[in-house]
Amino acid sequence: MENTSQGFHTVTIHKVKATLQGEELEIFRRTLRDLSEINVNPVTIPRDWNIPQIPNLLAAYERRIEDEQFEMWQNEMNAENMKDYYMDRDKKKSKKR
């Protein structure tokens, strides 16, 4: 079914399946089943919208967690380096006395 009520055409999954044959069709069906198993509703995006891809939210989440973990590690390393610096400085001062 095409929806033109808002000035754009929506391509349905049914239309996409109708254009595929053989192994491509089986891969597409398998992908739809896999998506259904994880409760993801597949959508098609018309080419004239010029959207090359939808960002992967899970990957974005994982990158954010990794960035936060790296920042925490970096802060710990900075704190440790500062502690070492002041301890070394204090040792040098005590030796001079």
Residues 6+ apart with CB under 8 A from 83: none
Q: What is the amino acid identity at position 17?
A: K
Model pLDDT, residue 2: 45
Q: Kindly tell me if the per-residue pLDDT of 14 is higher than 80.
A: yes
Predicted pLDDT at 7? 47
Over 90: is that where the pLDDT of 77 sits? Answer: yes
Residue with tokens 């960035």: 67
Q: What string of DSSP letters covers 16-36?
A: HHHT--HHHHHHHHHHHHHHH
Domain count across the chain? 2
Q: Which domain holds residue 29?
A: 1-52
Neighbouring residues of 17: CB distance < 8 A, sequence distance ≥ 6: 25, 28, 29
Q: Is the pLDDT of residue 8 over 90?
A: no
Q: For residues 48 and 4, state if they share a domain.
A: yes
Looking at the structure, tell me whether residues 1 and 47 fall in a common domain: yes
Together in a domain, 45 and 4: yes
Q: Please tell me the pTM assigned to this model.
A: 0.41
Half-sphere exposure of 95 (CA within 13 A, CB side): 6
